Amino acid sequence: MSQSEATSRRPRSAAGLIAATVARRLGHGAFTLFVVSLVIFSLMSLMPGDFAKSILGQAATPETVAAFQREVGLDVPPVQRYVAWVGNVAHGDFGNSFVTSGAKKRAVADIIAPRLKNTMFLALITAALAVPLALGLGILTALKRNSFFDRAVNALTLTTISMPEFFMAYLLLMLFSTKLHWLPGLATVDAGDPFLEKLRRCTLPALTLTLVIVAHIMRMTRAAILNVLDDPYMEMARFKGITRARMVLRHALPNAWAPIANVVAFNLAYLIVGVVIVEVVFAYPGIGQLMVDAVSTRDIPVVQACSLIFAGVYVLLNLAADIASILSNPRLLFPR
Amino acid sequence: MTDLPAPHRRSRGERLRAKFAKAPYSARFGMVMLSLYIITALFAPVLAPYGEAEVIGKAFEPWSATHLLGTDQLGRDMAARIIYAARNSMGIAFLATVLSFVTGGLFGIVSALLGGWADQVLSRLVDALMAIPGLIFALMALSLFGPTVVNLIIIIAAIDATRVFRLTRAVALGVVSQDFVEAARLRGEGTLWIVTREILPHTLPPLITEFGLRYCFVFLTISALSFLGVGLQPPMADWGSMVRQNATLITYGNVTPLLPAAAIALLTVSVNFVVDWLLQITGGGRDGR
């Protein structure tokens, strides 16, 4: 490729370059979503042969089994079934629950909608609490590297990372609910509850989730900043004689945003896993608890829908992380 | 010149001992705790005062001389079950991790060695599987195949193998391009020989520390699944399910149900301390996760 070709193919503006990169990443994200839906669909198509029997009970006759398979759509070829399924999901139709099938069917979408709203509420509170706290702590420990404060926070976060979520949840429950009586131990909320009451009931679950993800974000923030501090231009900054605070905030932080944005989004995605357990501990009526119940009763359409939602959110958050790191990359903003 | 005594070179054992002597307190603590856990798991039937599923009293009896930690929701000895659970929880997590390293590691190395479309297909497949959160994937698979011990091990190992594949492939890619692999190829060695004799020894050090981290992760996932009631099934004792089954006691201010949870936490903290130290002395730069 000649020099003139190379220059003519390069987008002229920073905006053009960024748009092209983001567009490529979006395309990749869409492809991932497609593959994920395919994986979930194929896994669910692997339903063991005797599955209808185990749902309908041992007394199932061949006729009722056939009827069940027709109702679920197992008599249609897989490709056709996949296209129909994706089409329905796009319209918000996740099919009917197995458990309540029969005389009065319940649509999976109707079961999930209020639960999803509750989970989003919990996740939002947690994010609002955890992200600023973690970033602040990460920057502070990087500033005071190897100090007592740094070591203490480091040991503490290594400990909280290693703990199972339910241990943390029960410890907080025991302390704030059973011993101190400050907060309710059960987070049963209704759609009709006033906002403040909801907030009060969500405090313990949100606090548990916060403790879990703060440790990760804080450690990665610290590592990202320290990583930049080893670069030659940071040595230059030190030779110029500027203060450590200015070095970290003015020079290191802008170059560390990409990995930090990445880890924040990654941990918000991690909330998905944490949310399942925390919702069960505090009996919070969210989508995580719903999924666990559906797994126990082997209510496949509900499991499928929940998996798809969880995986979709996970993929989207990771996509957001990548786009954030593209946008925060100073090299992309000022192309040569 | 030849008469000079050879300079004393420290043997491998001596060097290891010197490293241990310099280990920070957190790592020493971790190693002692790990040994205790392994001893408990190996000698569970000797150490436990009662059988794993033996009903020896009323439900939720308080701590006493005969029942050190009281009894659980069905009247089984809590202390005995905590000891047996060490064997179940740790053993199953260990099997799953080993299985995931054997499959993930092998596929990772072969993928890096072969390159081309085989590598592309495997890598894209793993990317897709990793786009689904592990716990969610496990829940989905368990709802389909049912929660038996064998299913649990296979499902968890399969999920974890994707993560191992990624790491092994990345490490092996660096080794594959080295001259000695090329030399082995030109000598006419087979793929299996190259994988086991040339590449594996060079990818082993990072994989060993990764084993510790993955073990923690697998162990926590299995505990979480058991806690949710879809992991190890009764009457098998498991720390995760024991917490859930006795959780009602917590609302009365009784700490007994927290003990199995603390056992989980202490084990993973210990492993993390040791791995942290191993990473430091082997020069790996993994901070954070």
Sequence ranges of the domains in chain B: 25-46+74-282
Q: A-chain residues within 8 Å CB-CB of B128?
A: 32, 35-36, 38-39
What is the spatial distance between Cα A82 and Cα A76, in angstroms, rounded to a whole number? 10
Provide, rounded to the nearest whole percent, the portion of chain A with pLDDT above 90.
Answer: 0
- What mean pLDDT do residues B55-62 have? 72
Cβ–Cβ gap A167/B220 under 8 Å: no
Tokens of B216: 């923690």
Burial class (CB in 10 A: 0-12, 13-18, 19+), A203: middle
Q: What is the pLDDT of residue B282?
A: 65
Q: For residue B132, give the chain A residue with the closest CA.
A: A311
User: Which pair of tokens denotes residue B256?
Assistant: 């007994």
Cα angle B230, B233, B238 (rounded to 5 degrees) comes to 95
> A140 and A36: one domain?
no
Q: Which of A37, A71, A97 is the last residue of a domain?
A: A97
Helix (H) or strand (E) holding A189: none
Shared domain for A20 and A167, answered yes or no, is no
Q: Check A48 against B145: CB less than 8 A apart.
A: yes
Q: What is the DSSP letter of A107?
A: B
B111 close to B118: Cβ distance less than 8 angstroms: yes
pLDDT value, residue B158: 92
Whether A62 is in a domain gets the answer yes
- Of A73, A97, A121, which marks where a domain is finished? A97
Mean pLDDT, chain B, as a whole number?
Answer: 82
For residues A181 and A245, membership in a common domain is answered with yes
Range with the poorest average pLDDT among A14-18, B26-30, B222-226? A14-18
Helix, strand or coil, per DSSP, at residue B184: helix
Residues A53 and A190 occupy one common structural domain: no
Flag if B140 and A161 touch (Cβ within 8 Å): no
Query: In tens digits, what is the pLDDT along chain A, a chain of 336 residues?
Result: 444 444 445 545 667 777 887 888 888 888 888 888 888 888 777 665 556 666 666 666 777 777 776 666 666 777 777 888 788 877 777 777 776 555 566 778 888 888 888 888 888 889 888 889 988 888 888 888 878 888 888 878 877 877 888 888 888 888 887 777 777 777 777 767 777 777 777 888 888 888 888 888 888 888 888 888 878 888 888 888 888 888 888 888 877 777 788 788 878 877 877 888 888 888 888 888 888 888 888 788 888 888 888 888 888 888 887 787 777 766 665 654
Considering the domain boundaries, does residue A119 fall inside one?
Answer: yes
**Which amino acid type is present at position B215?**
Y
pLDDT category at B99 given cuts 50, 70, 90 is very high
Q: Assess whether A154 and A267 both reside in one domain.
A: yes
What number of C-beta contacts closer than 8 Å exist between A and B?
Answer: 163
Domain termination residue (choose one: A49, A77, A97): A97
Structure tokens at B49: 């005062």
If we measure between CA atoms, which residue out of A134, A148, A331, A161 comes closest to residue A225? A134
Phi first, then psi, for residue B71 (nearest 5°) are -120, 165
Which two three-digit tokens encode residue B92? 């199953």
Whether pLDDT at B101 is above 90: yes
Using the predicted structure, report yes or no on whether residue B28 has a pLDDT greater than 70. Answer: yes
Q: Calculate ∠ Cα A186-A98-A64, nearest 5°.
A: 150
Judge whether residue B240 has pLDDT over 90. no
- For residue A292, the domain's CATH number is 1.10.3720.10
A199 and A268 co-located in one domain: yes
Q: Are residues A64 and A211 in the same domain?
A: no
pLDDT band at B10 (very low <50, low <70, confident <90, very high): low
Indicate whether A67 and A161 sit together in one domain.
no
Candidates B132, B272, B276; nearest CB to A311: B132
Structure tokens at A279: 């919702």
Q: Do A223 and B288 touch (CB under 8 A)?
A: yes
Q: Is A103 inside any structural domain?
A: no
Q: How many domains does chain A have?
A: 2
The CA distance from A266 to A271, in Å, is 9
Q: CA B232, CA B216: separation in Å to the nearest integer? A: 17
Residues of B in contact with A32 (CB under 8 A): 127-128, 131
Two tokens, residue B269: 């903290």
Query: How high is the pLDDT of residue A73?
Result: 65
C-alpha to C-alpha distance for B127 and B144, rounded to whole angstroms:
22
DSSP H/E element including A278: helix A253-281
Tell me, yes or no, whether A291 lies in a domain: yes
Distance from CA of A135 to the nearest CA of B (A): 14
**Alpha-carbon dihedral angle through residues A302, A305, A310, A315, given to the nearest 10 degrees:** 160
What superfamily does domain B25-46+74-282 belong to in CATH?
Answer: MetI-like (1.10.3720.10)
Flag whether A254 is in a domain. Answer: yes
The pTM for the full model equals: 0.80
The CA-CA-CA angle for residues B230, B239, A167, to 5°, reads 95
Instruction: Determine the Cα angle at B233 with ends B261 and A65, to 5°.
Output: 140
Q: What percent of chain B has pLDDT over 90?
A: 10
Distances (CA, A) of A48 to A186, A261, A264, B146, B149: 37, 42, 39, 10, 17
| Token duo for residue B15 | 């060097």
In a domain, A252, yes or no: yes
Residue in B133, B273, B288 nearest the CB of A219: B288
Who's near B225: CB < 8 A, 6+ residues apart?
B135, B138, B139, B142, B147, B152, B231, B240
Q: How high is the pLDDT of residue A51?
A: 61
Helix ranges (DSSP H) in chain B? 12-21, 25-42, 44-47, 78-114, 116-130, 134-145, 149-176, 179-187, 191-193, 200-227, 239-245, 258-282
pLDDT of residue A7: 47
In which residue are the tokens 């603590």 written? Answer: B29
pLDDT at residue A102, as a whole number: 54
Gap between the Cα atoms of B104 and B167, Å rounded: 9
A164 is a domain residue: yes
B142 in contact with chain A, both atoms CB, cutoff 8 A: yes
Instruction: Select the more confidently predicted residue: B53 or A308.
Output: A308
Q: Has residue A138 been placed in a domain?
A: yes
Helix (DSSP H) and strand (DSSP E) numbers for chain A: 15, 0
CA distance to partner chain B, nearest, from residue A293 (Å) = 9
Tell me, yes or no, whether A125 and A267 share the same domain: yes
Chain B CB contacts of A179 under 8 Å are 253
B 105-134 near A (Cβ less than 8 A):
124, 127-129, 131-134
B271, B27 in Cβ contact below 8 A?
no
Q: Which among A51, A162, A303 has CB closest to B268?
A: A162
Distance CA A62, CA A58 (A): 11
Residue A309, domain extent: 108-333
Contacts of A315 (CB under 8 A, 6+ apart): A29, A32, A33, A36, B131
- How much is the pLDDT for A52? 62
Q: What is the pLDDT of residue B157?
A: 94
C-alpha B271/C-alpha B279 separation (Å) is 12
Q: Does residue A55 sit in the same domain as residue A125?
A: no
Residue A36 and residue A151 share a domain: no
Quick one: average pLDDT of B219-239? 85
Residue A273 to residue B128, Cβ atoms within 8 A: no
